[in-house]
Structure 1
Amino acid sequence: MVTESPRAITASADELLAQVGTLRADADRMDGYARQLLATAATLSGCPAAPDWSRPALEQQAAACTTAAEQLRTAAEALDAHARSGGARH
């Protein structure tokens, strides 16, 4: 069960914008991981010693990374809009 603190902690606009930058950097990092996983899957497709499950598993992980990147960007945009709309303390 989640409980709320009696005192809400409100971040400043600058703090929120810094978090937006972090979320965007994390999204870029996840996109990079997806590219690395797909490159590894492609390399393994030409390797007869690679287990049959390896390529599909790597492709599935790459798709998860891509989804995570999209979600991080969506969160960053929402937080950016909130910070710029005056939703943060100044």
Structure 2
Amino acid sequence: MATQSRPVTAAPELLAYVDDLRADADRMDGYAQRLRGAAETLGNRAEAPEWSRAALERQATACVTAAVQLRSAATALLAHAAE
């Protein structure tokens, strides 16, 4: 049975994608930090709706989760590229 070999350009393309995933993860961490800052600011204002801080915290947590998942995907892809 014949097997196909991967194209020579696959590894550099995968490595570039790994870099993109890591950059996206960093961006998501930054969004989480900004959302938490906004939640802190709103938490100190009497006129802010009571639900706003909790909503911003949930969104920040979702951003952190996404960042973890993006980094995990980057690690898995890097392992795949090394095969």
Q: Using structure 2 for the length normalisation, give the TM-score.
A: 0.89
Q: Which amino acid aligns with 2:22?
A: R
| Aligned equivalents of 1:71, 1:19: Cα separation in 2 | 14
Q: Which amino acid aligns with 1:13?
A: A
Aligned length: 77
Runs (4 or more) in structure 1 with deviation over 6 Å come to none
Residue 41 of structure 2 is matched in structure 1 by 43
Root mean square deviation of aligned Cα:
1.4
Gap regions ≥5 residues in structure 1:
1-8, 86-90
Shift, 1:84, TM fit: 1.3
Decide which structure has greater helix share. Answer: 2
Q: Which amino acid aligns with 1:68?
A: A
Aligned pairs (5 A) from 1:1-90 = 12-85=10-83
| Aligned equivalents of 1:52, 1:43: Cα separation in 2 | 13
